[in-house]
Amino acid sequence: MRFVRFDPDRIGVLDEAGIHDVTAAVPEPWRSSRYAMNHLVERFDSLRPQIERLAADSQAIPVHSVRLRPPVPVPLQVLAAPNNNRAHTAEMRSSGLAVSPGSKDAPPTPRSIGWFLKAPGSIVGPGDAIELPDMPGRRFDHEGELAVVIGRAARNVAEADALSHVFGYTGLIDVTLRTDGEHREERPMRKSYHSFTPVGPTLVTADELPDPAAVGIRLWNNEELRQDGSTGDLIVGVAELISLASRVLTLQPGDLYTTGSPAGVGPIRPGDAVTLEIDRVGRMTLPVRTRDW
């Protein structure tokens, strides 16, 4: 099943015909709240028959006639894997963009240094824009990533059980303000400016991507294909990421864990348009603008 959210605050199931509005499957008071999708994810097993009935009985709405919103607008937590792709790690070190450029030490991975947080308040959707703050001389990069959506709460789970805690997957652009010789802001802030976490376009249930280690990820800036990778290139795979994080805290239904970028990260500037395409999840294009505040 492929879920979307669309204006005004509706939840839909996407198929070849279009979007089927299944909002009514979510009981009040959650249905009318921004947490409707968190509730749907948490109670999916019991809500599923009603979701399927509504999807079968409703007229399809053309995708192009709606404004798509982020499928999970308010996860409690957005975890993010740093340096989780061999080729990307190499490009960061050789380009001098890594925190320890040129170091001879073994590169850090999520196995050694864990994860960082992106603020949920930085999430926007497929129908929005990436808005860059006016910071002359600073570089902003795209990182196209597959993000896991947690289904069942996960606390201290074994790697072998971890995938049973996954509800599904979505796309995430981890927009990043780079450090440079003069500037060393904390990573969570550099990655949490307003609109620096575009999510979507769909949330696909885990059965749609049965092998999370074989998911293609492509990203274009304008017409230029910048990233063309696969989750097969991850250093630490989805199950191990979840298991390791669940030893630190409890992952909650609806939480996002973005798995890390393939090689090919590059700068974006106002006037660009960034397109992320992930197998089954689909494709979204966001214009890049200068922030007006």
For residues 143 and 176, the answer to whether their CB atoms sit within 8 Å is: yes
131 binds Mn ion (CB under 5 A): no
Find the part of the chain contacting Mn ion (CB under 5 A) among 18-26, 138-146, 157-165, 248-256. Answer: 138-146
261, 264, 272, 288: which one binds Mn ion (CB under 5 A): 261
CB atoms within 10 A of CB 244: 18
Find the part of the chain contacting Mn ion (CB under 5 A) among 9-17, 169-177, 198-206, 246-254. Answer: 169-177
Find the part of the chain contacting Mn ion (CB under 5 A) among 208-216, 241-249, 255-263, 284-292. Answer: 255-263
For residues 149 and 256, the answer to whether their CB atoms sit within 8 Å is: yes
Report how many residues bind Mn ion under the rule CB under 5 A: 3
For residues 204 and 151, the answer to whether their CB atoms sit within 8 Å is: no
Shortest CB 235 distance to Mn ion, Å: 13
CA distance 227 to 242: 25
Shortest CB 109 distance to Mn ion, Å: 13
For residues 155 and 246, the answer to whether their CB atoms sit within 8 Å is: yes
Find the part of the chain contacting Mn ion (CB under 5 A) among 4-12, 25-33, 155-163, 168-176. Answer: 168-176
Q: What is the DSSP string of 152-211?
A: S-BSS--HHHHGGGEEEEEEEE--EEPP-SS----HHHHT-STT-EEEEEEEEEGGGSS-
143 binds Mn ion (CB under 5 A): yes
- Please report which helix (H) or strand (E) contains residue 276, including its range: strand 273-278
What Rg value do the Cα atoms of the chain yield, rounded?
18
Give, as ranges, the residues between 171 and 210 that touch Mn ion (CB under 5 A): 174
For residues 255 and 235, the answer to whether their CB atoms sit within 8 Å is: no
Shortest CB 78 distance to Mn ion, Å: 11
| Shorter beta-carbon distance to Mn ion: residue 17 or 213 | 213
Find the part of the chain contacting Mn ion (CB under 5 A) among 40-48, 135-143, 217-225, 277-285. Answer: 135-143
| Shorter beta-carbon distance to Mn ion: residue 12 or 260 | 260
122 binds Mn ion (CB under 5 A): no
| Shorter beta-carbon distance to Mn ion: residue 12 or 110 | 110
For residues 17 and 32, the answer to whether their CB atoms sit within 8 Å is: no
By beta carbon distance, the residue nearest Mn ion is 174
Q: What residues line the site for Mn ion (CB under 5 A)? A: 143, 174, 261
